[in-house]
Amino acid sequence: MATYAAPLRDMRFVLHELLDSSALSGLPGYEQVNGELIDAVIEQAAALSQEVLFPLNLSGDAEGCTYENGVVRTPKGFKEAYQTMIEGGWTSLACDPAYGGQGMPMLVSTVFEEMVSSANLAFGMYPGLSHGAYRALHAHGTEAMKAEYLPKLVDGTWSGTMCLTEPQCGTDLGLIRTKAEPAGDGSYRISGTKIFISAGEHDLTENIVHLVLAKLPGAPAGTKGISLFLVPKFVPTAEGKPGPRNGVSCGSIEHKMGIKASATAVLNFDEAQGWLVGPENGGMRCMFTMMNAARLAVGMQGLGIAETAYQSAAAYAKDRRQGKSVARSDAKETKSTDATPATPNPADPIIVHPDVRRMLLESRSMTEAGRALSYWVGLELDRAEHHPDPAVRQEADDLVALLTPIVKAALSDLGSEAANNAVQVLGGHGYVHEWGVEQLVRDARIAQIYEGTNGIQALDLVGRKLGQDAGRLLRRFFHPVSAWLEAHAEDPELAPFAGPTAKAFGRLQQATLTVATRGMARPEEAAAAATDYLRLFALVAMAFMWCRMAEVAGGKLRAGANGEAPFYEAKLDVGRFFMARVLPRHSVHFQGIMAGGETLARMKAEAF
């Protein structure tokens, strides 16, 4: 059966030993945050995830959401679980205390997102979209708008959505047709249809706050003419209660491959009352506040699925007996004695088989590296928003901007890979619904698609981030990697980590120069290399995380390990596997980049 227990020891290793979470207390607003508080929060989060959310994952998938006459009902147990989440204050975790939030760091929220995604990805969509709406309104809403809506989003009694996609356009939002007509009273009338709206309609909250992209009369063509509007399901009364039903309705919900317990709605806006968020024709900039947070959250979804997939496969592999280890010398039947009759040798647990170990270690090594990478981004988010020095804030923001498409794409790819590995380890049981592992494959798949497909993330990396301000963003990553490798080049204990990473990093530098040079002459060359470039970059970033983790683990072992030698020894073993068996994938991506785009472009479209 699918298995999940929050990997608290590994989380603490990354939070406290690798990233030194104590530095958070030096940021304004986080003075009271320390390791003890963080540990208490994540332990409670683990209990919620394991005891409340995870038991609903399989049943929620089997039941799914139901739609009847515009009304959407979530699966059995979801309303009670959501109420438990509200009562525990989890919807307010990383929100502004001025609006009822707890003011915890984004780093802690990142850990929480991983746990919820591991336990029940479909359930996590509801509070996850709300937090994205909260961030957009907090950054761009008027003071009156924030006072009216943010407390409700923070305490979870109202939820939020982001309404971008329309039937004729997905990524190319310049093609949207939804219109916003001024009503003469400071509000607007919104008309149009939005599709694929996660949590667009449900029965968990008393109101739903839609953030909708639309075009004003006479707006410029393309994305420069898009504005953002707040459109509540129920227009609030003067007392802040849900009032009359607005002109927004759910036309249907999608029947999907996965995350079936998450309602994905078609929303029809029929002269719905809405209010402008941010400046006219500035909707894309406002929405990117929400989208960037959502892309990082999608990376955590992939990481969460990968962790559950690994745990489920490892538990099965240690229990399931099939075949004998090729290393066993006693392959013959045991001899009988007076006390023991002759019996065949029992089969071994399948974890003894090399190919099973390969799959488990592939999943685990990338999951642990992905956790370190994503938590690093979470820490940099806090520095970008709270550090008193503007230069430090800029540096942190640059690194977050650079790594966001990498975290989203690489970790969502990892979720699918680890889930498929788990099905393979479980064999026939993995293919059967009741065992809960095939659901992970279906649930993981959407993360590679929504919030900008992984191909779009790759284009963002090479088209915007690579050359921005003469490579300023790249330097935020390249410089610390180069400095670490130079400082540890002669360390024999770290040679199994530093050596392979230096080689891969050198190829990343060479690929960066090649993509930039070719892209300036022919932009399609950069586009042709984009996916290979992102995957190469991701492997180097994960390798750098393993270098740093190996440095910490080795230091702990030399210091006596305080009774935890097995943990640190396993950490080094997993890291060595990554360096020897996963990092070499970078060569394939490097060769793909250097091959150029001709083989992609030369075949005529009609020949496909």
Check: CB of residue 425 under 8 Å from CB of residue 363: no
Length of the chain: 608
Final residue of a structural domain among 88, 111, 140: 140
Provide the pLDDT for residue 334.
44
Check: CB of residue 265 under 8 Å from CB of residue 255: no
Angle between helix 495-521 and helix 565-577 axes, rounded to 10 deg:
40
Residue 459 lies in a domain: no
Tell me how far the alpha carbon of residue 37 is from its chain's centroid. 24
Does residue 235 share a domain with residue 135?
A: no
Does residue 119 share a domain with residue 201?
A: no
What are the structure tokens assigned to 468, written together? 């921005």
Residue 319 lies in a domain: no
Does residue 559 share a domain with residue 510?
A: yes
Q: Helix (H, G, I), strand (E, B), or coil: what is residue 235? A: strand
Domain containing 258 — which CATH number? Answer: 2.40.110.20
Does residue 278 share a domain with residue 165?
A: yes
Instruction: Say what the pTM is.
Output: 0.95
Check: CB of residue 532 under 8 Å from CB of residue 543: no
Q: Helix (H, G, I), strand (E, B), or coil: what is residue 274? A: strand
Which residues of the chain have a pLDDT value below 50? 331, 333-334, 336-337, 340-341
pLDDT tens by residue, 339-391: 544 556 689 999 999 999 999 999 999 999 999 999 999 999 999 999 999 99
- Backbone torsions φ then ψ of 264, nearest 5 degrees: -105, 110
Does residue 262 share a domain with residue 168?
A: yes
Does residue 132 share a domain with residue 56?
A: yes
Helix segments in 191-333, DSSP class H: 283-319
Report the 10 Å Cβ neighbour count for 249: 16
Provide the pLDDT for residue 6.
98
Check: CB of residue 123 under 8 Å from CB of residue 91: no
Neighbouring residues of 295: CB distance < 8 A, sequence distance ≥ 6: 404, 405, 407, 408, 451, 452, 457
Q: Which domain holds residue 244?
A: 143-149+158-282
Provide the pLDDT for residue 344.
61
Residue 349 lies in a domain: no
Does residue 230 share a domain with residue 135?
A: no
Residue 559 lies in a domain: yes
Alpha carbon of 445 to those of 194, 196, 407: distances in Å? 22, 15, 16
Does residue 165 share a domain with residue 112?
A: no
Residue 436 lies in a domain: no
Does residue 585 share a domain with residue 478?
A: yes
- Backbone torsions φ then ψ of 351, nearest 5 degrees: -70, -15
By C-alpha distance, which of 521, 544, 519 is closest to 533? 519
Residue 332 lies in a domain: no
Strand-pair partners of 228: 213, 277
Residue 17 lies in a domain: yes
Active site annotation includes 181 = no
Does residue 43 share a domain with residue 80?
A: yes
- End-to-end alpha-carbon separation of the chain, Å? 42
What are the structure tokens assigned to 559, written together? 């210091």
Residues 567 and 554: their CA atoms lie apart, in Å, by: 11
Give the total number of structural domains in the chain. 3
Does residue 163 share a domain with residue 135?
A: no
Provide the pLDDT for residue 342.
52
Check: CB of residue 166 under 8 Å from CB of residue 176: yes
Domain containing 90 — which CATH number? Answer: 1.10.540.10
Strand-pair partners of 207: 158
Residues 428 and 582: their CA atoms lie apart, in Å, by: 27
Q: Write the DSSP symbol of residue 17.
A: I
Final residue of a structural domain among 240, 266, 282: 282
Report the 10 Å Cβ neighbour count for 49: 25
By C-alpha distance, which of 293, 300, 301 is closest to 134? 293
Q: Considering 451, 490, 564, 569, which one is annotated as catalytic?
A: 451
Residues 529 and 590: their CA atoms lie apart, in Å, by: 9
pLDDT tens by residue, 190-211: 999 999 999 999 999 999 999 9
Residue 120 lies in a domain: yes
Final residue of a structural domain among 114, 140, 166: 140
What are the structure tokens assigned to 117, written together? 């995604």
pLDDT tens by residue, 81-128: 999 999 999 999 999 999 999 999 999 999 999 999 999 999 999 999
Does residue 136 share a domain with residue 12?
A: yes
